[in-house]
Structure 1
Amino acid sequence: MEVIGVLWFLVALVVIVTVHEYGHYIVGRWSGIKAEVFSIGFGQVIYSRTDRHGTRWQIAAIPLGGYVKFKGDSDASSRPTAGGLEGLSAAERRQTMQGAPLWARSATVLAGPFANFLLAVAILVGLIFWQGLPVNEVRVGSVAPMAQGVLQEGDLIQAIDGQETPDFTAFYTVADGLSTKPRVAYQIERAGAEVTVEGPNPLPPLVGQVMLKSAALEADLRPGDLIVKAGGQDIASFGQLPDIVKAGDGAPVTLTVQRDGESFDLTLTPRRSDLPKAEGGFETRWLIGLNAGSLFEPATRTPGVLEATGLAVEQGFGLLKVNVEGVVAMLAGKISVCRNLSSPVGMAQAVAQAAEQGAAAYLSLLAVFSLGIGLMNLFPIPVLDGGHLVFHLYEAVTRRPPSDRAMQVLMMAGIAVLVSIMLYAVLSDLVGCL
């Protein structure tokens, strides 16, 4: 992985961690808990300043995280200092995490993951505004090189091979039924006139996106590549490719690819992947890591703020749902832990690859990681935010906090669990699933 890829990963990490910790900080301040230190990074302090609230804002030399140290904390994990609240006035105790009301402590802890969720939604909203939403009718925007001379920007596709396509749902339904036809007829309204043109299959075997950490990426397949053969078979549409890969049951598959007027062969070894199903749960399939391209990009419109926000929240909940279902499935042994758990090494590789694919891919992955880190912090493991919330729940039920001794033991156990998971994830990313 190149140095620039590492830098992009560090930028992503700093953004996600800073937003997370700022969530803790601002809600803590609003609820009367004093933050003594807000640190971006660990180790030697490079720069610092103290604001009017008495909080020292600092940048440290190791940009692999960050923390907020509240008054009364012995360290960044919010463990109380030795002696607890002894010698403090009532007003001073109220400014500490340990002396604040239970609601204030819980809100402060919960605010970190919630800030990550907000960041993800904000990024998704920005992407929706940037990329726009397809118009309802099948109106052509930009045209792929292989369709130039056939389709034009502004064309309204009314039918394909005589089958009407009033919207994109109908368009893709019709296109799926034509998967073996290399050429089809398009009935088009163009500049007020109705014309019929013959062109490539509406869902050609064109590479649209190369997935991160995939066999296709390692083989250097690129967006815009046209796959004309797979496993020795001529293919007319992208929809034929998954069936050929599936039939091989993991065996290497040879693709004949056209790029910039030249043809060449590539051999890829599919990888087992656990994919979420629409009805819930997961299925394991062999994949090479490609998404389909298109003859054209749809004409787009700019949504309103409420529509864009609603869509972003819906996308965010969808991603969270898949993540939660994935964790449950891993714990139940239904899907592979090795294939679905990433360490910072794997995350760095994914971020570097996304950055190479462009700003949209990078920001999309940033949103996914922000959601994932927010969710991970809610796991009921001591040291994580979810562990603190469990302690608060215990206190709410028993009317007393856990003992100092119990807290120390549980914190050490939590650290041991996290280190074990991290070591396993790093090993899996470096040497693969054993």
Structure 2
Amino acid sequence: MSIIAHIWSAGVYIVPFIFVLSLVVFFHELGHFLVGRWCGVKIDAFSLGFGPEIFAFVDRYGTRWRLAVLPLGGYVKFHGDANGASVTDREAAAAMPEHERAVSFFAQKVWKRAAIVAAGPAANFVLAIVIFTCIFYFNGRAVLSPVVDKVAAGSVAEGAGFQPGDRIVAIDGDKIASFEDMQRIVQASSDVALTFEVERQDKLIELVATPHRREIKTPFGTTRVGVLGVEAGAKPENWRTQRFGLIDSVKRAGSETWFVVARTGSYVGGLVMGRESTDQLSGPIRIAEVSGEMAKIGLAALLNLAAILSISVGILNLMPIPLLDGGHLFYYAVEAVQGKAMHEKAQEFGFKLGLTLVASLMIFATYNDIVRLTRQLLHLG
């Protein structure tokens, strides 16, 4: 393979990866930036990426907008901060004249600091809703009818009495409009008895089934979900395109965002309880792979991935780990309750601990990526 072919092959994955990650990071930092400006805080820098600058300019408010070499994150540096993690520069703060202190981040009331910090994750959820809204509004939704075509031998569905031709109308009283609706409920309900309302030969009957927990492969690794044991018919007449108006698109986008939040929360809880596998934790290598594959499908698929990653970034940043936004919010909650900030040394220890935890998570996720990639290469060989 020629050098040009290698560069092209790498670009197929790198360019979509940079696009997706930059979009998610930009909106996260934009949330901090906009609320910071609204609160009257001076912003020294807005950086997309880390390391040496590729391009930069200073706006009329004195903010340096910079594009950096390493596109693996970004930051907003508020006046008085020692770095982009909103750690106060104590020496500089002590020497500041009063007019500069007034526009510094550390000098703001606790509710303002909390609002500025919370705005980053909030912007990630807003971005996801906007993307999902656009996808539903412009593309609609491909809907597969919830009609059973095949029942796997020896499956939970067979034991519960499902038959080919059954149309699933409701599960535990919730109406089912598509096969995907049914799958989502079943996958999230392993080892939980579900009551299915089924239409069979123009009659409604009730069937009770408990989805069996099973490992399945996803683009990000292996996960454990509930499985019923039914398949839908892929005949053209079973498919339809559902169109949405703007209001319905927004509602659907909100539901989709909440579904991803709930599924992610369930996965994190499963990790803590030992029910989920850690191999689904992915780092930049795997995200780049999936970004490239989604780009091959089309822009809508790539934007859908960006929305899911944006939600994941929002959830991760809300975790009460020092260094992340959730850690800052925890500190501010303590400050609000006790009427004064936590001791300086306690905060410094927390940030060091948070840095260790975040770095360990990144190393482990990257290790997972390398192991997965090595297995793929060995399999191809």
For normalisation by structure 1, the TM-score amounts to 0.64
Residue of structure 2 in register with 1:305 after alignment: 246
Q: Which protein is richer in helix relative to its size?
A: 2
Which runs of structure 2 are paired with 1:111-260 in the superposition (5 Å)? Answer: 111-133=119-141, 176-179=147-150
Rounded to whole Å, the distance in 2 between the matches of 1:25 and 1:367 is 20
- Looking at CA atoms only, which structure, 1 or 2, has the larger radius of gyration? 1
For the pair 1:378 / 2:349, whether they are aligned, the reply is: no
* Alpha carbons of structure 1 residues 102 and 294: separation in structure 2 relative to 1, 3 Å: farther
CA gap of 1:42–1:394, structure 2 versus 1, over 3 A, is same
Uncovered stretches (5+) of structure 1, i.e. residues with no partner: 135-171, 181-239, 244-273
Q: Distance in 1 between matches of 2:104 and 2:149?
A: 67
Match of 1:319 among 260, 270, 285: 260
2:58 partner letter: T
Report the equivalent of 2:215.
285
367 and 291 in structure 1: CA distance in 2 versus 1, 3 angstrom threshold: farther
- The residue aligned with 1:42 is 50
In the other structure, the counterpart of 2:284 is 344
**Cα distance in 1, alignment partners of residues 86 and 145 from structure 2:** 59
Query: Offset at 1:286?
Result: 4.4
Q: Distance in 2 between matches of 1:177 and 1:372?
A: 33
SS for the counterpart of 1:59 is: strand
Partner of residue 276, structure 1: 188
SS at match of 1:179: strand
Q: Is the 8 A contact 2:20 2:303 kept in 1?
A: no
Show structure 2 runs of 5+ residues with no match: 1-8, 156-185, 194-212, 220-230, 373-381
The CA deviation string for residues 5-40 of structure 1, in whole angstroms up to 9 with x for no partner, is 111101111111011001000001101111110011
- Distance in 1, matches of 2:133 and 2:364, equals 35
For residues 292 and 419 of structure 1, do their structure 2 counterparts lie closer, same or farther at Cα, with a shift above 3 Å needed? farther
Q: Distance in 1 between matches of 2:241 and 2:148?
A: 26
1:335 corresponds to: 276
Change (3 A) 1:280 1:305: farther
Q: CA deviation at 1:89?
A: 3.9
Deviation string, structure 1 residues 282-305 (Cα, Å, up to 9, x no partner): x33345989985525855464222
- Per-residue CA deviation, residues 253-302 of structure 1 (Å, 9 max, x unaligned), is xxxxxxxxxxxxxxxxxxxxx95338989x33345989985525855464
Distance 2:192 2:310 in 1: 23
SS in 1 for 2:310: helix
What is the RMSD computed on CA atoms of the aligned residues?
3.0
- SS across alignment from 1:41: strand
Give the Cα separation in 2 of the matches to 1:76 and 1:380: 18
1:242: Cα distance to partner?
Answer: 11
Alpha-carbon distance, 1:397 to partner = 1.1
Partner of 1:19: 27
Picking from 60, 74, 83, the partner of 2:82 is: 74
Contact 1:85 1:99 (C-alpha < 8 Å) held by counterparts: no
